[in-house]
Amino acid sequence: MDAKELVHKAQNVMVCSHINPDGDTLGSMLGMYHVLTAAGKYVQRACHNTTPPQFTFLPGHEGVGPDLPDRDWDLIICHDASDIQRFGSVYEQHRDLFERVPSICIDHHVTNSGWATVNLIDTSASATAEMVYYFARELGYPISKDAGTCMLTGIFTDSGSFQFTSVTARTLRAAADLVEMGAPLPDIAYETWRKKTFASARIWGAALEGLHLSPDGRYCWSAVTQDMLRQHAATFNELEGAVSHMSGIAGPSIVALFKEEGPDEVDVSFRSMDDTDCTVVAVKFGGGGHKKAAGCTVHAPLAEAERQILAEVAKLVGSREPVPA
Ligand SMILES: [Mn+2]
């Protein structure tokens, strides 16, 4: 059975977004939620987390969470996740469901493992939400203003507000259609891009101030520690977007942003400023992503994580000079 048939036939659908949800996974999942609900289906919005504060403007966000009612599910649709582990507790607590119930994975990551029953993977899509829009049209279901708002949020955030090289005419056509359906682009741009808390502006400042450039100028990096978060009363959520901002630095090929999640856990985000493929380093540490934007988690103290990652980054960009301490 193909994806279309699976959806048409299903009555009780679980839609999923990945752990620590971003605008694309949430916008995709909620867009699908609105479309399928309007088509008369019972739809559950499953996510390891509840909706982060910056996305509570999304219609339908209030039902997002890890608790699943006991129901005779006949379809699971997963959004923007290259691996099943990305669903965190939703998968861990319901492994039996994921084994028993047919699943559709809609994703645009090159690192997607093809784990679902039916995999809709398009690595040329700027966002999973772009794929969700075209899939909803293929299904023949109406797309409401609320559905469109969610999908456009996914496209807007994952395309770097239409600035990334992943943006195609197809992306802009989807966005134009969604605006025509009533999706409020200026509101989405304000909510997801311009709006900041005071703490957010401060922690961005700290991250920018902490930037280092390698001696040969080929890569740069910054690290944000738990101490810095405390000092500015900020969370890592409020650092969202900072690494993309750093990718505007002219000269280096790659930027790495280290986030000290705990004493032995460091999240690393990479952005490349040229043709350098960030996933080369991310995948070595069990992570993934896209050529120009990738990430991984290193289970080591911050200084050790920096040493290991920067050694690989230096290798990747052909840096001959030693990694500074
Ligand atoms: Mn995405």
pLDDT digits 0-9 by tens, 253-267: 999 999 999 999 999
Measured in angstroms, how far is the CA atom of residue 155 from the centroid of ligand 1? 8
Measured in angstroms, how far is the CA atom of residue 16 from the centroid of ligand 1? 13
Q: Are strands 212-213 and 293-298 parallel, antiparallel or unpaired?
A: unpaired
Orientation of helix 128-139 relative to helix 23-38, angle to 10°: 10
Residue 321 has pLDDT above 70, yes or no: no
Q: Mean pLDDT over residues 266-288, rounded? A: 96
Q: Are strands 103-107 and 118-121 parallel, antiparallel or unpaired?
A: parallel
Say what the pLDDT of residue 241 is: 87
State whether residue 79 is helix, strand or coil.
strand
Measured in angstroms, how far is the CA atom of residue 158 from the centroid of ligand 1? 6
Say what the pLDDT of residue 290 is: 85
What confidence tier does 165 reach under pLDDT thresholds 50, 70, 90? confident
Measured in angstroms, how far is the CA atom of residue 25 from the centroid of ligand 1? 6
What percentage of the chain exceeds 70 in pLDDT? 98
Say what the pLDDT of residue 317 is: 96
Measured in angstroms, how far is the CA atom of residue 157 from the centroid of ligand 1? 9
Residue 299 has pLDDT above 60, yes or no: yes
Measured in angstroms, how far is the CA atom of residue 231 from the centroid of ligand 1? 31
* pLDDT tens digits, 82-116: 899 999 999 999 999 999 999 999 999 988 889 99
Say what the pLDDT of residue 324 is: 55
CB-proximal residues (5 Å) to ion ligand 1: 24, 80, 128, 158
Say what the pLDDT of residue 213 is: 97
What distance in Å separates the CA atoms of residue 171 and residue 133, rounded to the nearest whole number? Answer: 10
Q: Running DSSP on this structure, what letter comes out for residue 62? A: G
